[in-house]
Chain A
């Protein structure tokens, strides 16, 4: 079907910092990962762990006050960080698009659905007005909106939350992008609608062979949707592995803690363990490994030095001193 091994996106040592008075907030600190064609990569982490900023950095739309200070973002063999703003606009919406968290605020209240679905088409394609409306109807059909030819004349407030998220999805896939970033795109929906929208994303992936980055903090969604998972904490990527591998052999103490804190049905009653402590203030991340104050297996070296990335086997990288070989430790 498609070449599953080819990377569509490679993020290398990405750093995005925010200036907050005299403090520097390292929202994304030395993050590297790749996304392959047709793959769904999950990014999980607590609030404020840098997931959203990572995604916005890929599109070079870092919120005010922030700046990408280093790294490379290789998309389809080209470094996006070396593009001009004008060139960058041709990537946004056409080759990389994004769905945001809240469908209630994702649509402009003053325009009809049809206008909003056709906007990226008019921006990036060479359609005329009439064709664009037909294309918009087809797109709404693709996201399984009933009677799309009537819905294009509706305003956003006339649609339910699930419908709006479908509309937002249809806008995102309008120009047949290679990469879709879904930033907590189902968090605000109730569970049944959530399942429908996720199924929709899966179907779109199957049909169009696009790659998806799925940002979430719901490990259940990760288990059901993603091919691979990246775990972020305090702006750093701590572990990345195949979903099955991560759930069966978590290597980083933080990942283990996350998995332990998920309630499970049918396994008898047990006390739910949470990770003690609070995630660090990003302006004052502890030296060494950012997780050590909360870690159950802290070594002396953890408090001093940031651990290097260690390969744990096929496509399984972890950033933890526990798995670093002896030679490096002695240094």
Chain B
């Protein structure tokens, strides 16, 4: 006979409530919808944008969104100071923002992975040197380093990708090194060596796939961070330069008109916030399903 208390715990209202919460937690519908929307918007920008992003129309400058009294048809989210369509600029801006963040993550991810593998697998001097460099990179404030590098190289699309890439690899190196250290002591790595695999083959073919889970999680969580960094740098005028468009740049341009045209900064800002949120939620979800350690917790 099951005691009433136990029954209440297992089937009671609290249990159902918890299960709904966990169901919502396990299915990252929200984040997937956000990211798919952003991605589709970026890819299909030429097809769905109501106007060319650079088309100037002084007669309709600083018009509010369409649902406000002074809104004009054809500009659903209003126009900026030169009469350019905010929605179109956001769609094209998504292209640049995603391009920059994905390329930057690819650069920092591969650089960090390579160095982390080297440090973790070979150990000794490699480990000491690479880890000291990593510590140094982690201790320098990002903005300071980015300002310095852009100051030397000059702002451009390529440079901002490179800057974001090389200022961000240390995290990856550190994580990959840690994982490599634990994986390389496992029997199957030893057996790979026993079977006559070279060091490169052992580390790239046998160790790397076992580190990939954590890498994917870290990269997804990083997506939001890099978008914010890119926006911050564009906002400061050191990132994406006109005529290219990025969300951070739009916020920077709209700052002057904040008191008269709230929509100019609000919509790009919301886009940044939502995309970052989407990336973080997806990262959390991936961590839950890919990392057995977190799954139990």
Chain A bound to chain B: yes
Chain A interfacial positions (CB closer than 8 Å to B): 59, 61, 64, 89-94, 97-98, 100-102, 105-111, 119-120, 123-124, 168, 171
New A-B contacts (17) at CB < 8 Å, excluding given A59-B194, A123-B197: A64-B123, A89-B197, A89-B198, A92-B193, A92-B194, A93-B195, A97-B194, A97-B195, A100-B191, A101-B187, A105-B188, A106-B187, A106-B188, A106-B191, A108-B192, A110-B210, A119-B195
CB of B196 within 8 Å of the partner chain: yes
Over the window 25-44 of chain B, the binary record of Cβ atoms lying under 8 Å from chain A Cβ atoms (1 yes, 0 no) is 00000000000000000000
Q: List 26 A-B contacts (CB under 8 A).
A: A61-B190, A61-B193, A64-B123, A91-B196, A92-B193, A92-B194, A92-B196, A93-B194, A93-B195, A93-B196, A94-B196, A98-B191, A100-B190, A100-B191, A105-B186, A106-B187, A106-B188, A108-B209, A109-B210, A110-B209, A111-B209, A119-B195, A123-B195, A124-B196, A168-B191, A171-B191
CB of B206 within 8 Å of the partner chain: yes
Q: Give the CA-CA distance A109 to B188 in the complex, in Å.
A: 9
Q: Give the CA-CA distance A171 to B197 in the complex, in Å.
A: 13
Q: Give the CA-CA distance A17 to B246 in the complex, in Å.
A: 61
Q: Which chain B positions have C-beta within 8 A of A101?
A: 187
Interface size on B, residues (CB 8 A): 18
Contact A90–B195 (Cβ < 8 Å): no
CB nearest neighbor in A for B189: A108
Q: Which 9 A-B pairs have the closest CB atoms?
A: A93-B195, A93-B196, A92-B196, A105-B187, A110-B209, A108-B188, A120-B195, A106-B187, A98-B194
Among B186, B195, B197, B201, the most chain A Cβ lie within 10 Å of the Cβ of: B195
Q: Which chain B positions have C-beta within 8 A of A109?
A: 188, 210
Contact A123–B187 (Cβ < 8 Å): no
Q: Give the CA-CA distance A105 to B191 in the complex, in Å.
A: 10
Q: Which chain B positions have C-beta within 8 A of A97?
A: 194-195
Q: Give the CA-CA distance A97 to B194 in the complex, in Å.
A: 6
Q: Which chain B positions have C-beta within 8 A of A168?
A: 191
Q: Give the CA-CA distance A330 to B92 in the complex, in Å.
A: 96
Q: Give the CA-CA distance A109 to B206 in the complex, in Å.
A: 10
Q: Which chain A positions have C-beta within 8 A of B186?
A: 105
Q: In the complex, how many angstroms separate the beta carbon of B124 from the nearest chain A beta carbon?
A: 8
Q: In the complex, how many angstroms separate the beta carbon of B166 from the nearest chain A beta carbon?
A: 30
Among B186, B187, B196, the most chain A Cβ lie within 10 Å of the Cβ of: B196
Q: Give the CA-CA distance A105 to B182 in the complex, in Å.
A: 13
CB nearest neighbor in B for A111: B209
Q: Give the CA-CA distance A100 to B186 in the complex, in Å.
A: 11
